[in-house]
Amino acid sequence: MLLGVFVSVLALTTYAGGSEGNDIAYSAFMDKARAGQVESIEYTNGSAKISGKLKDGGKFTTTGFPEFPQDDLRVLREKDVEVKPKTTSPGFLEAWLPLLLPVFLILGFFVFMQRRASGQMGNIMSIGRSRAKTYNTERPGTTFADVAGYEGVKQEITEVVDFLKYPEKFGQIGARIPKGILLVGPPGTGKTLIARAVAGEAGVPFLSVSGSDFMEMFVGVGASRVRDLFQSARKLGRAIIFIDEIDSIGRKRGAGLGGGHDEREQTLNQMLNEMDGFEATEGIVMMAATNRPDILDPALLRPGRFDRQVVVPPPELSERLAILGVHCKGKRMNPDVDLNVVARGTPGMSGAELSNLVNEAALSAVRNGRPEISMADFEYARDRVLMGQRRESLAMSDAEKELTAYHEAGHAVCAVVLPNADPLHKVTILAHGMALGVTQQLPAEDRHSYNKDYLEDSIVVAMGGRVAEQLVFGVLSTGANNDLVVSTERARKMVREWGMSDRIGPMAWGSQGQVFLGEDLMHTRDYSDETARVIDEEVEQLLRHCERRCQAALTENRNGLNLVARQLLERETIDGAEVRRLVELARTGAVPAEAPESTSVD
């Protein structure tokens, strides 16, 4: 920058003040002089620039020789031309700039380095400052209108917003607003989105910070940032402090291998002290979000700190429909898209997963060159999310493909004939993810509790593939690995945790906790070896009972099993309605179903 300024000044001093007039050749100038038309000239030594004035009032300029020729000078004297010699001298900048420029560059470099060093020192000195972002009414961003569903959650949060807007309404009746609200729910359910909506609705400053922002390599930084955060909130008067992922600093103290993290515990202690120092008239409310409430320190959850826990569960059917409507705004949708069907087919999905589902459907439409998102795109997106990406390059032999068809047909037939199983949606022998085939069931409605009959039928459906392979081919393959893992885990929970065994009785032993929480480092099993043996026997008996039920169901519907397997070999994918039709058709005996000729698979 300095170099540019100096060059500009030099150019101005060099070229400024130039003479005016027409530029002519030197020979034309001498011709005019011989003709007596020139009145006077001004000759600059060194540059040989000549500027002159004609007798008719005109002006001109030309360039001569470094030394004026004597013959031409004699002609000018004979014609009475006034000659004014001029000697130029370099200006101050022109003379001193080559010497001063390196000095200025060196000085500028030292000034830059000094400012940079002072800035780094300032950063070190301000490392204890809070990194919270402050939002005010001029930056509303998200509001409750952008949060679909969760009416109960929004009602509880609205009470906090109303308290901060109209504290006198609560003070008149003597009500005390909770000092802290903890949003609890699985990942992706919209806890942070709800907090952003509070920032837009509150009409008061909203300080947002992540739990990880308190931790640094320097000792005492976390506690210092907590103090600065609360001091900033007090200066604002009424405000909301939101800490996202509070479990990163709010874990139980004294837990874990080798003792607790001293710096983290000091940060938590400072936060507990700051929350205790609140007065009801201060108008400061704490909000926090976590998906691990079980690992938070009990002192953080007691009344007077986080008084209220607001559960943000996965959305229900109506809420999923509303969330899909929000994410479909601004997208071109084909008239055949029925969001009710999409919502019913996505049980248990969080808001983030539904957003990803809509985006995958849009990508599918673009990939296939369609101008609008169709129902087929939503089907593809749901299969990709639930079952994984289809493996186009996988090539199976005919024998392996036939074995896979009967394996998936066994799952599908069990899902159709059992009274308590979830409705069958589709079955395919196209490889998705790590699976060679997939049988997909979709519940007719959201379930919140499961009875014993439903759980047993789900185990029977899971064993359908393995039993079908053994019934038709007389072999056992590794394809039932995941089915056995799911069945065994579910049976063990039924016996050990849910009290669904008559022999064990109404007793429950939960699964062991994680060692890093410090709860099971020296934990011993809370039941005897004899009880453990009984539990294992009951789990085995339950699995054997479900296996016998599965063998009976597939033996009774052997013709339907063959029909479904043949259709899978021909069409690769069939829906649940077609499977039910084939099973009913086989039961009536209208179409004979042939079993495969081979009885073994290489």
Active-site residues: which are they?
A: 408
Q: Are 576 and 461 in contact (CB under 8 A)?
A: no
- Helical (H) or strand (E) element with 284: strand 284-290
* Partners of 82 in beta bridges: 40
Closest CA to 50 of 35, 33, 34, 36: 33
* Partners of 45 in beta bridges: 87
- What is the Cα–Cα distance from 266 to 256, expressed in whole angstroms? 16
User: Is residue 582 helix, strand or coil?
Assistant: helix
Could you please report the per-residue DSSP string of 15-70? HTTPPPSEE--HHHHHHHHHTT-EEEEEEEETTTEEEEEETTS-EEEEE--SS--H
* Burial class of residue 517 (count of CB atoms within 10 Å of its CB; 0-12, 13-18, 19+): middle
Q: Are 483 and 463 in contact (CB under 8 A)?
A: yes
From edge to edge, which strands make up the β-sheet containing 38-45?
A: 22-23, 59-63, 49-54, 38-45, 82-87
Written in H, E and C, the secondary structure of 382-444 is: HHHHHHCCECCCCCCCHHHHHHHHHHHHHHHHHHHHCCCCCCEEEEECCCECCECCEEEECCC
- What is the Cα–Cα distance from 536 to 492, expressed in whole angstroms? 8
Q: Are 565 and 572 in contact (CB under 8 A)?
A: no
Amino acid at 285: V
Q: Are 362 and 373 in contact (CB under 8 A)?
A: yes
- What is the Cα–Cα distance from 353 to 587, expressed in whole angstroms? 40
- What is the Cα–Cα distance from 583 to 574, expressed in whole angstroms? 13
